[in-house]
């Protein structure tokens, strides 16, 4: 990286932060988790003890005086000061010894308000950015998935992350119809926790639920099921207990949330002008984001909409790759950039 105006693309997700450096690719992929001490420091504020991977290890395992939590909620900043500290940490880590302030391009959900946009830009500038730009996630996901967004043709992208599902129809570089629903990977994890509690009287943590979802979960019922042993605490005796859960158990657990996610896609299809709707039938719906990798997700979308859905290549990295491309061609993507400082 040259020592002149470094550039960084940041996928500021609810569950993970990914940082892209042009010429190097994705240099950081860490959980957006911060561990904070309840004891107040000299400044009268809670001390930040760990950020990213180190902080995630502490979730559910901390003594009472330490809390590990996510400062981003549903894709937007819930705790401004902690988000700023987290951004500063990752910007510094990505730049290494480069003394110059970087130009930063950050992803935001499709339904972001102007106040939330401003909060992201301010946090980035206070964290050490020279200039900060924000671009909506579906646009970045489309760019990262290799979709030529500037063509006069309707393309549909559903970016399913940890906090939100962002669905948009893009034509001529702009968003024609879109929605952002706060129901995605995290809500699926919570649904699994509730299901195990109700059906089996067993308490499990979010981390176990996430592991279950990834290893045995699916979006539609399957004939060939996989199962996994799950350890938790018996709600009656209070003692540790192990049970077996299968793929179709998880499909049942997540039904309501999956329906909410496909409803978001249906809504955008209903709001799409007829000419562009015809394009979408031809091109299909592109799925991006970590949660789109749930087994059989394209099949579920097809069943609920009647439109073929395809998984983008490396769906998890689409948004952050899109930030890298947009940084390289800032002039070309000028129309898609929401705000800058």
Q: Are residues 84 and 22 in the same domain?
A: yes
Q: Are residues 20 and 88 in the same domain?
A: yes
CATH number at residue 116: 3.30.420.40
Question: Is the pLDDT reported for residue 270 higher than 80?
Answer: yes
Residues 20 and 106: their CA atoms lie apart, in Å, by 10
Average pLDDT on 258-271 reads 97
In the chain, % helix, strand, coil (3-state, to 5) comes to: 40, 30, 30
Number of domains in the chain: 4
Residue whose structure tokens are 């930040």: 48
Question: Is the pLDDT reported for residue 234 higher than 70?
Answer: yes
Residue whose structure tokens are 């940890």: 162
Q: Are residues 202 and 215 in the same domain?
A: yes
Question: Is the pLDDT reported for residue 31 higher than 60?
Answer: yes
Q: Are residues 283 and 163 in the same domain?
A: yes
Confirm whether 74 is domain-assigned. no
Average pLDDT on 44-72 reads 81
The pLDDT, as a whole number, for residue 332 is: 76
The pLDDT, as a whole number, for residue 3 is: 46
Q: Are residues 38 and 96 in the same domain?
A: no
Confirm whether 279 is domain-assigned. yes
Residues 254 and 12: their CA atoms lie apart, in Å, by 25
Q: Are residues 94 and 223 in the same domain?
A: no
Q: Are residues 8 and 118 in the same domain?
A: yes
| Sheet arrangement for strand 155-160 | 174-181, 165-171, 155-160, 285-288, 309-311
Average pLDDT on 4-29 reads 91
Q: Are residues 243 and 289 in the same domain?
A: no
Structure confidence at residue 329 as a pLDDT band (50, 70, 90): confident
Confirm whether 75 is domain-assigned. no
Q: Are residues 177 and 310 in the same domain?
A: yes
Spatial CB neighbours of 42, under 8 Å, sequence gap ≥ 6? none
Residues 302 and 6: their CA atoms lie apart, in Å, by 42
Is the pTM for the entire model greater than 0.85? yes
Residues 318 and 226: their CA atoms lie apart, in Å, by 28
Which of 50-54, 208-212, 226-230, 297-301 is predicted least confidently? 50-54
Give the percent of the chain with pLDDT over 70. Answer: 95
The pLDDT, as a whole number, for residue 96 is: 86
Question: Is the pLDDT reported for residue 340 higher than 70?
Answer: no
Confirm whether 207 is domain-assigned. yes
Q: Are residues 16 and 100 in the same domain?
A: yes
pLDDT per position as a tens digit, 61-79: 777 778 888 888 877 888 8
Phi, psi of 100 (to 5 degrees): -85, 150
Confirm whether 103 is domain-assigned. yes
CATH number at residue 191: 3.90.640.10
Q: CA dihedral defined by 165, 146, 107, 340, rounded to 10 degrees?
A: -140
Indicate the residue among 223, 253, 283 that finishes a domain: 253
What average pLDDT is seen over the chain? 90
The pLDDT, as a whole number, for residue 341 is: 54
Structure confidence at residue 4 as a pLDDT band (50, 70, 90): low
Residues 174 and 296: their CA atoms lie apart, in Å, by 30
Confirm whether 6 is domain-assigned. yes
Residues 170 and 141: their CA atoms lie apart, in Å, by 11
Confirm whether 340 is domain-assigned. yes
The pLDDT, as a whole number, for residue 44 is: 57
Average pLDDT on 15-38 reads 91
Overall size of the chain counted in residues: 341
Residues 291 and 137: their CA atoms lie apart, in Å, by 14
Question: Is the pLDDT reported for residue 219 higher than 80?
Answer: yes
The pLDDT, as a whole number, for residue 99 is: 83
pLDDT per position as a tens digit, 166-189: 999 999 988 999 999 999 999 999
The pLDDT, as a whole number, for residue 43 is: 59
Q: Are residues 173 and 229 in the same domain?
A: no
Confirm whether 161 is domain-assigned. yes
Structure confidence at residue 339 as a pLDDT band (50, 70, 90): low
Q: Are residues 309 and 238 in the same domain?
A: no
Give the percent of the chain with pLDDT over 90. Answer: 69
What angle (nearest 5°) sits at the alpha carbon of residue 186, between those of residues 312 and 45? 120
Structure confidence at residue 220 as a pLDDT band (50, 70, 90): very high
Residue 290: Cβ within 10 Å count: 20
Q: CA dihedral defined by 95, 96, 99, 105, rounded to 10 degrees?
A: 10
Indicate the residue among 207, 233, 253 that finishes a domain: 253
Average pLDDT on 15-23 reads 93
Nearest in space to 195 (alpha carbons), one of 184, 204, 207: 204
Please report the sign of the dihedral spanned by the C-alpha atoms of residue 241, residue 243, residue 249, residue 251.
positive
> What domain range is 192 assigned to?
185-253
């Amino acid at each position: 990286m040259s020592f002149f105006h470094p550039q960084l693309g940041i996928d500021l997700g609810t569950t993970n932060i990914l940082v892209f450096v042009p010429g190097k690719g994705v240099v950081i992929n860490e959980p957006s988790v911060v561990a904070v001490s309840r004891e107040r420091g000299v400044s009268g504020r809670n001390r930040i003890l760990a950020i990213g991977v180190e902080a995630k290890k502490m979730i559910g395992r901390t003594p009472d005086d330490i809390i590990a939590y996510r400062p981003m909620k549903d894709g937007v900043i819930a705790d401004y000061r902690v988000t700023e500290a987290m951004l500063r940490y990752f910007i510094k880590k990505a730049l290494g010894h480069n003394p110059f302030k970087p130009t930063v391009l950050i992803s935001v959900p499709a339904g972001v308000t102007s106040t939330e946009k401003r909060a992201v830009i301010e946090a980035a500038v206070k964290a050490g950015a020279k200039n900060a730009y924000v671009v909506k996630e579906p646009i970045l996901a489309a760019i990262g998935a290799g979709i030529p967004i500037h063509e006069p043709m309707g393309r549909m992208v559903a970016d399913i992350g940890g906090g939100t599902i962002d669905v948009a129809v893009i034509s001529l570089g702009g968003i024609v119809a879109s929605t952002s629903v706060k129901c995605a990977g995290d809500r699926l994890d919570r649904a699994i926790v509730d299901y195990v509690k109700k059906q089996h009287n067993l308490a499990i943590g979010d981390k176990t639920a996430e592991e279950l979802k990834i290893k045995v979960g699916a979006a539609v019922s399957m004939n060939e099921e996989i199962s996994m042993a799950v350890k938790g605490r018996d709600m009656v005796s209070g003692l540790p207990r192990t049970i077996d859960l299968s793929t179709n158990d998880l499909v049942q657990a997540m039904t309501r949330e999956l329906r909410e996610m496909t409803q978001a896609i249906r809504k955008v299809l209903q709001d799409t002008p007829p000419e562009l709707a015809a394009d979408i039938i031809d091109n299909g719906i592109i799925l991006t984001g970590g949660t789109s990798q749930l087994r059989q997700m394209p099949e579920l979308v097809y069943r609920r909409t009647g439109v073929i859905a395809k998984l983008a290549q490396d769906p998890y990295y689409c948004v952050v790759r899109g930030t890298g491309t947009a940084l390289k061609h800032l002039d070309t993507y000028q129309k898609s950039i929401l705000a800058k400082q």
